[in-house]
Amino acid sequence: MSAAAALYAHRAVLPLLPLLAACGVHHPPAACDVQPPVAASTTPPSAPLYGFWGLNGYTHVAGLQDVRARLGATVYQVAASSPEYAVRTLLPDARAAGMKITLRMTPDHGAYTTLTGSFDLDAWKASLDGWVGSGVQAFVDDGTLVGHMLLDDIHNFNGRDPDAADLEEMARCSKALFPGLMTYVRERAAGMPVPKRGTYQYVDAAVNQYQVQDGEIHAYTERESARAAELDLGVINGLNIADGGDGSSQKAGYRAGFWAMSADEITRYGAILADVPTCGMFLNWEYDGEERWADGSVGSVYFDRPDVQAALLGLSRRVSGHAPAPLLKPWRGG
């Protein structure tokens, strides 16, 4: 079974989950009921990590070592809601390759969406059941698993989107289940809902993933960095290299009507985002050896061009040359 197949083999049952949620069948993991420990991580702070979403086709040891050598990747983000596969294969391979990893540990949105299209917090908690006692904590403790992406794209539910209280409870639950694991949401800082207390206590970071549609890069970076500081959120910056270009690359993007970034764009935009002093991680969307773009091409083939590859490697060196900016709140006095 391929890595992609193993990660998503469970999805055949997903259509049943919203129905179970509506009937009140699910229950949150009992460990969520306790307060998370407040002790700081024992992992020494390191230079900001740099990497990609996806890496389909590269998530085995040799593939990860290849991406690390060619593109300077030190971390990658993937969805892995199969605890058994993650603990037996995915995380050991990342460890063996010297790579860090962040996980979305829950299924797709349908598993925690009500029949009316709203976010279901209890169903989201219940989807973590399989991770309890799975052995994943060993990978948190040794620094292989460095982040839990709580939710991807928080504003695309057809009914009620998760609010700040939901996000805080999700992060609190994560920290109770997986002590020492950084929590984050794939949403730019300015798009994060504001908690009643004004700042986030349990959500550690937000993702500012730049594309030209977001406006001028300097203004974008200043706005998102300032907003993250106001909300007490760490900063994960990145580039939408697959769909966020201005057309100068002349390479059609992942979606029809969009453009991949050119080598020059990666270098120019990336330098501004990398130089944010509070940037603790840099994640690009995406490098994928299997996923086909709108024009039928495989995305990694374009990014393997010598000029683009050199730009990505150069950006990695720029990111890793900065001082540590730890994202886990205890390190930042949270």
pLDDT of residue 137: 96
Number of structural domains (the chain) is: 1
Domain that holds residue 328: 3-332
pLDDT of residue 160: 92
pLDDT of residue 42: 57
Burial class (CB in 10 A: 0-12, 13-18, 19+), 88: middle
Question: pLDDT of 152-163, one tens digit each?
Answer: 989 989 999 999
pLDDT of residue 207: 98
Question: pLDDT of 69-85, one tens digit each?
Answer: 999 999 999 998 799 99
Question: pLDDT of 9-68, one tens digit each?
Answer: 333 334 444 444 444 455 667 678 777 776 555 566 788 999 999 999 999 999 999 999
pLDDT of residue 34: 74
Please give the DSSP secondary-structure letter assigned to residue 40: P
CATH number at residue 94: 3.20.20.80
Q: Which two tokens stand for residue 252?
A: 């059609």
Cβ–Cβ < 8 Å for 106, 124? yes
**For the chain, which residues score pLDDT lower than 50?**
1-24, 331-334
